[in-house]
Amino acid sequence: MDAAALVVVVEDDAPMRASLQNLLRSVGLQTNSVSL
Amino acid sequence: MAEDTHRFWAKLEGSTALRYALAPGAIAVALLLQILVIGPSFPVWSPSPPPIHPTGLFQVCIVVAAWCGGAGPGFLAALLATLALPLLIDMNYPLIAGFFDLPRFVAFGITGLAVGWGTTFRRRAEAALRRSERELRKARNELEMQVLERTAALRRSEALLAEAQTLSQTGSFGWKVATGESLWSEETFRIFRYDRTTKPTMERALQRVHPEDAALVQQTIECASQEGKDFEQECRLLMPDGSVKYVHVVAHAVSDEAGSLEFVGAVMDVTERKQAEEALRKAQAELGHVTRVATLGELAASIAHEINQPLGAVVNNASACVRWLAAQNLEEAQRSAALVIADGHRAADIIGRMRALAQKAPPHKDWLDLNAAIRDVLALARSEVHRHGVVVETHLAAEVLCIRGDRIQLQQVLLNLVMNAIEALSGVRAGPRTLRVSSASVAATEVVVAVCDSGPGVEPQHVDRLFEAFYTTKPHGLGLGLAISRRIIEAHGGRLWATANVPQGAVVQFTVPTGGEGVV
């Protein structure tokens, strides 16, 4: 997996969004998030 | 016999001719007696004087004629006797025109008139007395009839009153405070379950009062007795068999001529009404619970999603925590564990809110923050709001809106209004789907909460019917939500009503007093 890849999390629920970002970061992915 | 005598005298007095005929009759009888029985008078036919002097005999006849006929016949008899007397006796003084004895005429006339007038007056007095007696007797008879009629009417009235008291289960009583003298109606005896022969007293009535109500009743009666004021009290009675009755007592204070205080009142047995009210209250509570659960049922899919969110977040954060631990990044692992805990609490809160609304608890008053209740409801409906693409605006009062009420019932009302608004907005094809919830204090005595939507609104002719039970504009609605909501708000001492929103949609708002009186 490309470590430089950026995953954008789109989720309206803030805790869910935070947990997804946490999980993605734990596997070494860079994340960003967008709320609806 | 007495009646016959009265009739004879009445007939005699009524006939003038008969009365005047007595005068010549009496004189004729005297003449015949003198000539045929006593003997001829002297000195015409007899040399010796007769045993009864003709003058005396005529006097007797005049008296009889006057007694029976009155003054007129008496005077006529006197005249006839004066004319007849010279035929019987020889006069020793000159007569007028040779035949009229003036002194004897005067004596006879005085006798006739005196006896006649006396008799007439006596008869008139007797007649008046008889008339008075007759009138008195008639009046007495009429009075007796009236007494009998009124007694009968009074008895009938008493019977009707007793029947009415039995039907209405209302007894009456009187109580003289100073002497303790009491008077109870039959129904009062029945209500207190005392034998009719028992002497009624206030102490006996108080003996029946439920021990838990006794102090309050005693205090009420003492206050009313001291101040001489009317009183009204509802209390329970504990019967000898252990059953409980509810009675409503109303008493009016009156003072008699001597200034003594007396209470006159009524005791109403309201046990059946109380039981009916209790049954109604239970039924309403059941219905409220059923509709609340039905609303939660409508929310089930959304709530499942709402719970799924923190659960998913728990799984994600727990997985991340494991990975951070494997990577020996303790700081991130610790943060992930904290997020797991926070998400767990979040899920628990959602379940807690649901359980609080679904529980079947008896209504109870408590101090609560209305803004917090609104936020809880909006949190519960959040998924439903998102599912229908509704934008929620809240304009809650900055200060804490502290009221006294039933949290579950008020949240039921709020949830019902929010769900109605969301459903109305789901039909909007064009334009914004906006739900605005606001709260504010009004004049420091009450709080107003408004739920506005930009939906199609309600036609003016249907606004009043919205709050009728079983009236609904929804295809699958029961038509109970708003009816129950209004009952709940009214039980809190507030009002619930609907108006049109500007420029479109509807506004449903309610008020509750800050004191929160009257919670059921």
- pLDDT value at residue B312: 92
Q: Which residues of A touch B312 (CB under 8 A)?
A: 16, 19
- The whole-angstrom separation of Cα B467 and Cα B480 is 8
Which pLDDT does position B340 carry in this prediction? 94
Distance of alpha carbon B230 from its chain centroid, rounded? 15
Whether residues B339 and A23 touch (CB distance < 8 A) is answered with: no
Chain A environment of B328 (Cβ under 8 Å): none
Inter-chain CB proximity B335 and A22 less than 8 Å: yes
- How far, in Å, CA of B338 to CA of B317, rounded? 9
Taking residue B261's Cβ as centre, other Cβ atoms within 10 Å add up to 18
Find the CB nearest A27 among B314, B323, B336.
B323
CA proximity to B509, closest of B519, B499, B517: B499
Task: Determine the pLDDT at residue B357.
Answer: 72
Residue B346, chain A, CB below 8 Å: the answer is yes
Q: What residues in A contact B314, CB-CB < 8 Å?
A: 19
A–B CB contacts, 8 A cutoff, strictly below:
49
Radius of gyration from C-alpha coordinates of chain B: 55
In Å, the largest CA–CA distance within chain B is 192
Q: Does any CB of chain A come closer than 8 Å to the CB of residue B295?
A: no
pLDDT for res B293: 77
User: Between B137 and A36, where is the model more confident?
Assistant: B137
Q: Do A22 and B339 touch (CB under 8 A)?
A: yes
How buried is residue B400: exposed, middle or buried, by Cβ count under 10 Å (0-12/13-18/19+)?
exposed
Residue B508: per-residue pLDDT: 92
pLDDT score at B286: 76
Name the helix (H) or strand (E) containing B319. helix B300-326
pLDDT at B515: 65
Low-confidence ranges of chain B (pLDDT < 70): 1-2, 39-51, 91-92, 360-363, 469-479, 515-520
CB-based contact B316 A19, cutoff 8 Å: yes
What is the arithmetic mean of pLDDT over A8-34?
Answer: 89
Q: Give the helix ranges, DSSP H, for B169-244.
A: 186-192, 202-208, 211-227
What is the per-residue pLDDT for B477?
63
pTM of the predicted model, to two decimals?
0.51
Tens of pLDDT, residue by residue over B32-44, are 887 777 765 554 4
CB contact under 8 A, A22 and B386: no
- What torsion, rounded to 10 degrees, do the Cα atoms B23, B27, B28, B33 define? 140
State how far the Cα of B124 lies from the Cα of B130, in Å rounded to an integer: 10
Interchain CB distance below 8 Å, A26 and B323: yes
